[in-house]
Amino acid sequence: MGAVKAVMAIVGVAAILMGGLWMLQGLDIVHWPESSFMLGDGVWARNGAVLAVAGILVVWFGRKR
C-alpha cells in the first residue's frame, strides 16, 4: 500500500507543478518557451487551474488512505 501512496504523491505533485506552469503561461506571466501557443491564452490558464486542483486532490486522497 505504501507504493500506491508514493505513486499518487508523485503524480499529484507533477500535476500541481504542470498546472501551475500552464496557468502562469496562460496568464502571460511566464514566457517559457519564448514562443508558445499557450502564452496569453485564458483557456490554458483555466486548464492549468483545473489540473493543479486535480493534483491537490490526488495528493490529499493519497495521504488520506
* pLDDT tens track for 29-45: 999 999 999 999 999 99
Burial of 8 (0-12, 13-18, 19+ CB in 10 A): middle
Geometric angle at alpha carbon 61, from 50 and 58, rounded to 5°: 30
Q: What is the pLDDT of residues 1-29, one digit of tens each?
A: 789 999 999 999 999 999 999 999 999 99
Mean pLDDT of the chain: 95
E strand intervals along 11-56: none
Is 64's pLDDT higher than 90? no
